[in-house]
């Protein structure tokens, strides 16, 4: 049967670019993979912009002194991943996907070998699908500037209020009533610099040297680190696909840290009956639950669940943040608790000279007051919903996805032996991923990839997931 090779230029296919590719015959990685990796990097960092015509496979093979199969296979791979498009009779072009994705260039977090012409995307571009970071490019510049102009109007104060600005506390109470259905007033709120700061204030008020602090396992490493830094003994509390397991929770915990809206990192949403059981455990033991509500503003096709705080404010401190909805760079979050606890924390805060910047709070207050934050949230909900749909469409057929109804990451469940292979191969092909193992303290119950779609563009999420789907298929098929 005759096959059509869209990569063979039949007419004049001289490229406008002269590709400075260098391949290493000594490297363990095949020439095809090296070439595909080089081209991906060049497309990501803009060396090969959308619409650019690539040399014909014959011309590039001659230039590189490799067989034409090496080039056609590399082109075919990139074509399948959506990087390239063939235009009939005129050659191979860089696909015209959203340019936003092309700007996304990050430096790899780990050392890469200094082999000449390495197959890996060394020190160049990766598609970053690790969890934890939001999309910070789409914001209303005019609203942002207006907020900062306004923030500069009041003079600096000599003694910052440890509770935070009264105006912002009022606005946050209103925001939480609307966005989270919580019946709170400003007396329940203290403005923090984000969840990390909120965790530290909780530790200061509720834990002491040797106090036992339960932390979800797998869970958010910052909670472990902050509590341990305040002298607490960390007690890992197992999590299943729904969230923290209540049966068997130790009865001597002073505090339990949990992420019921979207378990980090497994993605479970704690069901209502389990929420009730967790609260009765806290009531009977006297423990305080620290509820990290970090990405609760984002959910897809499911009804909202009440915050633990809303179900029993006497046993819960809720921590919220602008880090996911706006940016971690703003450095504003909130702590919600009973007025007594909030008052005690404010006193301790003053004692350790901890505070949230007044001008920053002014700026956030303006964003809330004018409805700019609500508008931004509505836009981002749509944007994340599109990315999440791409993840589900491309990865759903190759593995079991969990936690895809909320937040900015999903868990792709895989056999334990396959996970490191997939992470490594994905990295070789320019896609950065996290595995569940990194988030564990004790025994691992669920294995898989934690895929964040917050900080890569829609186009990059699509490309990254295509690459990943192919790798997962191969790795699962090859697994014993």
Residues contributing to the site for ligand PLP (CB under 6 A): 132, 194-196, 220, 259, 264, 292, 294, 321, 323, 328, 333
For ligand PLP, the closer CB: 75 or 294: 294
Q: Minimal distance in Å, beta carbon 193 to ligand PLP?
A: 7
Total count of residues recorded for the chain: 480
For ligand PLP, the closer CB: 69 or 225: 225
Kindly report the backbone phi and psi dihedral angles of residue 121, in degrees, each rounded to the nearest multiple of 5, phi listed first.
-75, 75
For ligand PLP, the closer CB: 130 or 288: 130
> Three-class SS string for the chain?
CCCCCCCCCCCCCCCCCCCCCCCCCCCCCCHHHHHHHHHHHHHHCCCCCCCCECCCHHHHHHHHCCCHHHHHHHHHHHHHCCCEEEECCCEEEECCCCHHHHHCCCCCCCCCCCCCCCCCCCCCCCEECCCCCCCCCCCCHHHHHHHHHHHCCCCCCCCCCCCCCHHHHHHHHHHHHHHHCCCCCHHHEEEECCHHHHHHHHHHHHCCCCCEEEEEECCCHHHHHHHHHCCCEEEEEEEECCEECCCCCCCCCCEEEECCCCCCCCCCCCCHHHHHHHHHHHHHHCCEEEEECCCCCCECCCCCCCCHHHHCCCCEEEEEECCCCCCCCCCCEEEECCHHHHHHHHHHHHHCCCCCCHHHHHHHHHHHHCCHHHHHHHHHHHHHHHHHHHHHHHHCCCCEEECCCECCEEEEECCCCHHHHHHHHHHHCCEECEEHHHHCCCCCCCCEEEEECCCCCHHHHHHHHHHHHHHHHHHHHHCC
Q: Minimal distance in Å, beta carbon 404 to ligand PLP?
A: 17
Handedness of CA 324, 462, 302, 242 (dihedral sign): negative
C-alpha–C-alpha distance, residues 104 and 437, integer Å: 26
List b or e across 218-231, with b for residues whose CB sees 16 or more CB atoms inside 10 angstroms: bbbebbbebbeebe
For ligand PLP, the closer CB: 80 or 352: 352
Nearest residue to ligand PLP, using CB? 194
Kindly report the backbone phi and psi dihedral angles of residue 54, in degrees, each rounded to the nearest multiple of 5, phi listed first.
-90, 155
For ligand PLP, the closer CB: 99 or 225: 225
Q: Minimal distance in Å, beta carbon 115 to ligand PLP?
A: 34
Q: Minimal distance in Å, beta carbon 230 to ligand PLP?
A: 16
For ligand PLP, the closer CB: 76 or 259: 259
For ligand PLP, the closer CB: 275 or 463: 275
For ligand PLP, the closer CB: 75 or 264: 264
For ligand PLP, the closer CB: 73 or 404: 404
Q: Minimal distance in Å, beta carbon 449 to ligand PLP?
A: 16
For ligand PLP, the closer CB: 53 or 169: 169
Q: Minimal distance in Å, beta carbon 71 to ligand PLP?
A: 41
Nearest to 391 by CA among 300, 452, 477: 452
Q: Minimal distance in Å, beta carbon 221 to ligand PLP?
A: 9
Q: Minimal distance in Å, beta carbon 357 to ligand PLP?
A: 15
For ligand PLP, the closer CB: 78 or 408: 408
For ligand PLP, the closer CB: 434 or 460: 434
Q: Minimal distance in Å, beta carbon 313 to ligand PLP?
A: 21
Q: Minimal distance in Å, beta carbon 112 to ligand PLP?
A: 25
Q: Minimal distance in Å, beta carbon 264 to ligand PLP?
A: 4
Residue given tokens 């080039």 in the structure block: 71
Q: Minimal distance in Å, beta carbon 182 to ligand PLP?
A: 18
């Amino acid at each position: 049967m005759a096959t059509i090779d869209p990569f063979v230029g039949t007419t004049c296919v001289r490229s406008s670019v002269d590709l400075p590719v260098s391949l290493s015959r000594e490297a363990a990685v095949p020439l095809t993979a090296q070439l595909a990796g080089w081209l991906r990097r060049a497309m990501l960092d803009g060396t090969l912009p959308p619409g650019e015509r690539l040399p014909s496979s014959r011309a590039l093979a001659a230039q590189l002194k490799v067989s034409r199969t090496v080039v056609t296979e590399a082109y075919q791979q990139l074509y399948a991943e959506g990087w390239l498009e063939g235009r009939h009779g005129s050659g191979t072009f860089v696909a015209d996907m959203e340019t936003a994705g092309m700007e996304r260039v990050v430096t790899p977090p780990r050392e890469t070998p200094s082999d000449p012409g390495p197959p890996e995307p060394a020190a160049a571009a990766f598609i970053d699908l690790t969890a934890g970071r939001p999309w910070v490019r789409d914001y209303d510049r005019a609203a942002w500037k207006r907020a900062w102009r306004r923030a500069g109007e009041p003079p600096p104060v000599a003694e910052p209020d440890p509770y935070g600005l009264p105006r912002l506390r009022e606005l946050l109470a209103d925001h939480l009533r609307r966005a989270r259905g919580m019946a709170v007033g400003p007396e329940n709120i203290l403005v923090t610099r984000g969840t990390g700061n909120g965790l530290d204030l909780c530790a200061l008020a509720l834990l002491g040297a040797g106090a036992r602090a339960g932390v979800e396992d797998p869970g958010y490493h910052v909670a472990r680190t902050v509590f341990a830094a305040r002298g607490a003994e960390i007690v890992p509390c197992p999590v299943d696909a729904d969230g923290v397991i209540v049966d068997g929770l130790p009865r001597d915990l002073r505090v339990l840290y949990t992420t019921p809206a979207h378990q980090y990192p497994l993605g479970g949403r704690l069901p209502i009956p389990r929420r009730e059981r967790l609260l009765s455990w806290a009531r009977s033991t006297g423990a305080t639950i620290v509820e990290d509500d970090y990405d609760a503003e984002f959910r897809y096709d499911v009804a909202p669940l009440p915050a633990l705080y809303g179900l029993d404010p006497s046993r819960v401190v809720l921590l919220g943040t602008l880090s996911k909805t706006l940016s971690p760079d703003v450095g504003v979050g909130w702590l919600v608790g009973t007025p007594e606890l909030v008052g005690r924390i404010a006193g301790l805060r003053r004692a350790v000279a901890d505070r949230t910047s007044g001008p920053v709070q002014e700026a956030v207050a303006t964003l809330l007051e004018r409805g700019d934050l609500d508008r931004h949230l509505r836009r981002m909900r749509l944007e994340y919903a599109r990315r999440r749909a791409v993840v589900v469409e491309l990865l759903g057929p190759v593995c079991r996805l969990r936690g895809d109804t909320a937040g900015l990451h999903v868990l792709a469940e895989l056999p334990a032996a396959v996970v490191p292979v997939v992470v490594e191969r994905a990295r070789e092909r320019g896609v950065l991923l996290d595995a569940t193992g990194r988030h564990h303290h004790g025994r691992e119950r669920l294995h898989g990839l934690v895929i964040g779609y917050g900080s890569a563009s829609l186009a990059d999420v699509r490309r990254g997931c295509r690459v990943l789907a192919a790798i997962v298929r191969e790795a699962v098929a090859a697994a014993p």
